[in-house]
Amino acid sequence: MRNNLGKPLIILAILGSFLVGFHKADASDDSSEVSRNLIEAFGTWTDAFDMENGIDPSWEFPFGAPRPANLNSNDLKTVLSLRRFAVNGELGSLESLVDLVERRQDEIPVQMRFWLAYGQNLLLKEQSCLISLQLLLAVPDGWEPLENGQQAWVLTRTADSLFILGQRELASELYARLAVSPREQLNLWGTYQLAGLNFLNRNFEEAGRMYRVICAADKPVPWNEHACAMVEIAGRLTLLGKEGSQHGDVASTTP
């Protein structure tokens, strides 16, 4: 399923190089500062997630219903509607409600911002989704009202959106952080995506090493079979590259 941790391969999907607009109103911001802020916020969320005990029932899709403690009745209704339309695939109704919520960007609670980002992702509004995720990551202790599965989605989807929008270097930094998480599903996804980035950068030997880690993992994941196949492909390309170097050539073979 595209929108949970078992989503299909991102690395073989959209390979276009689009520059991401981080904040529409902050066009003059220094991009390196924006990147540093994002990396710092991402690290804070990941550290908090790594320290949580256990895995609650909402780890997998569909995510649990929102905790209503800090939501007024109108906000709770909006959050539940966003969730219902998203879970049921009612994209027409979802799009109408997303458009309404987007007009409230600066005043919405964490749970609503999460489902706004999730809805934007379902509607393939990639840039809008990334902006919502960045605003969510910037909320102090913003992870607290969210379930484990929702927190994990924010982390993986932020890195994936950066990759899809052409920010490979920044995405790679976030994937590297996921790849050292003690949470196995985050660890495996980060490693898998780093393998794909290494493959795209023609670093076939390192890609093969990472794919081998995924292939040998105890936890079955939807991308395991592909990783196992890529071990052989990366190995062949590594060998071709070494043979080409010995003869003064550059290997240019693709699978």
Q: pLDDT per residue over 166-193, tens digit each?
A: 999 999 999 999 999 998 889 999 999 9
Q: Which of 167, 194, 215 is the last residue of a domain?
A: 167
Domain end, chosen from 119, 142, 167, is at: 167
Structural domain range at position 110: 31-167
**Shared-domain flag, residues 155 and 193:** no
- Picking from 122, 137, 167, the residue at the C-terminal end of a domain is 167
Token pair 């929008």: residue: 165
- 3-state SS class at 239: helix
Tell me what the mean pLDDT of segment 2-16 comes to: 39
Q: What is the mean pLDDT of residues 207-215?
A: 94
Same domain, 56 and 150: yes
Q: Whole-structure pTM over 0.85, yes or no?
A: no
Both 158 and 190 in a single domain? no
| Cis ω before 62 (30° cut-off from 0) | yes
Distant-in-sequence, close-in-space partners of 74: CB < 8 Å, separation ≥ 6: none
6 domain-assigned:
no
Question: Do residues 173 and 181 lie in contact, with contact meaning Cβ atoms separated by under 8 Å?
Answer: no
Number of residues in the chain: 255
pLDDT for the residue numbered 243: 59
CA–CA distance, 137 with 227 (Å, rounded to integer): 30
The predicted pLDDT at position 29 comes to: 46
Residues 142 and 208 in one domain: no
